[in-house]
């Protein structure tokens, strides 16, 4: 995949998340194609998915898909661009009106927001992880998502230290590594393995979420709550 996901996302910034009743017929059809493609990509993988399969399941003519999208790659780019925009909106809403992140309650609320987001978006997140991990991948949506979340988290750490009158850590590289590998990856891992874990270990979604938070608090949040 080439080009910046963030740049491509700007193409879709004007398309708000409207209800089907308020969307023009063409936009409803386009949304249906994207929804179906997301489902098929998650089931068969991007390489294994065929435009014919998407057309058949979406109940549209294959030619109509190519009217909206030049290729299967553009369908994926559109889906990932929408994910990127949704993630930015989620972060903005999650931090709105919160002056500082210096208490466990504030971080628990943020944790719940992240978990809810990756649960809702787990199919496309799984696709993003797989595509980002390919050896020939020229661009990584996971790294771009990580970048906006990591920067937000580093700002949260700064606020937490300032609230307690502590000196902010100066090693930015250490902070980046910490935020990506101990802050972001647990949520991506949850999205990737949630269903399998619940089945294998016979635990409910609530139990898994609560246990993961306790582990997350002992590891990652230990730095956020000095």
Distance (Å) of CA 161 to CA 17, 73, 108, 146, 219: 37, 44, 18, 22, 17
pLDDT tens sequence for the chain (226 residues): 544 444 444 444 434 343 444 445 667 789 999 999 999 998 888 889 999 999 999 999 999 999 999 999 999 999 988 988 898 888 878 776 555 555 677 788 889 999 999 999 999 898 888 888 875 655 577 888 778 777 777 776 677 667 777 666 667 788 888 888 988 899 999 999 999 999 999 999 999 999 999 999 998 888 766 5
Q: Domain coordinates of the chain in residue numbers?
A: 5-224
DSSP character at residue 134:
S
Classify domain 5-224 at the CATH class level. Answer: mainly alpha
- Per the CB < 8 A criterion, the answer to whether 32 and 55 are in contact is no
- Model-level pTM? 0.76
């Amino acid at each position: 995949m080439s080009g910046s996901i963030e740049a491509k996302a700007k193409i879709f910034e004007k398309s708000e998340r409207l209800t089907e009743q308020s969307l023009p017929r063409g936009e409803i059809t386009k949304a249906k194609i994207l929804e179906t493609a997301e489902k098929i990509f998650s089931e068969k993988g991007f390489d294994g998915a065929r435009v014919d399969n998407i057309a058949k399941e979406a109940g549209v003519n294959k030619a109509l898909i190519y009217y909206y999208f030049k290729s299967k790659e553009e369908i994926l780019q559109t889906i990932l661009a929408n994910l990127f925009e949704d993630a930015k909106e989620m972060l903005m809403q999650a931090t709105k009106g919160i002056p500082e992140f210096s208490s466990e309650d504030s971080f628990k609320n943020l944790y719940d927001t992240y978990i809810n987001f990756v649960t809702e978006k787990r199919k496309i997140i799984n696709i993003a992880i797989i595509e980002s991990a390919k050896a020939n991948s020229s661009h990584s949506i996971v790294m771009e998502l990580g970048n906006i979340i990591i920067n937000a988290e580093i700002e949260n750490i700064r606020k937490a230290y300032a609230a307690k009158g502590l000196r902010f850590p100066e090693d930015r590289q250490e902070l980046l590594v910490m935020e990506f590998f101990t802050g972001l990856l647990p949520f991506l891992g949850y999205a990737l393995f949630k269903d399998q874990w619940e089945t294998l270990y016979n635990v409910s979604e609530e139990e898994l979420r609560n246990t993961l938070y306790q582990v997350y608090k002992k590891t990652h949040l230990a730095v956020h709550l000095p």
